[in-house]
Amino acid sequence: MSCPVCQRPTEPRYRPFCSRRCADVDLARWLGGRYAIPAEPIGDGDDPPPRR
């Protein structure tokens, strides 16, 4: 398994990362909004439901 940040081999202590640095880089990406889960925008409630 390789580190998702730098692709080096993982270290059991920091798994799935290779180091504390890469774990912190990944956390900063999440907190900064660089990672996101795709979703549909939420309306204001006045729109009729979509037709199928």
Does 45 score more than 70 pLDDT?
Answer: no
CA dist list (Å): 32 to 11, 27, 35, 45: 25, 8, 8, 29
* pLDDT tens, residue by residue, 2-41: 999 999 999 999 999 999 999 999 999 999 989 888 888 7
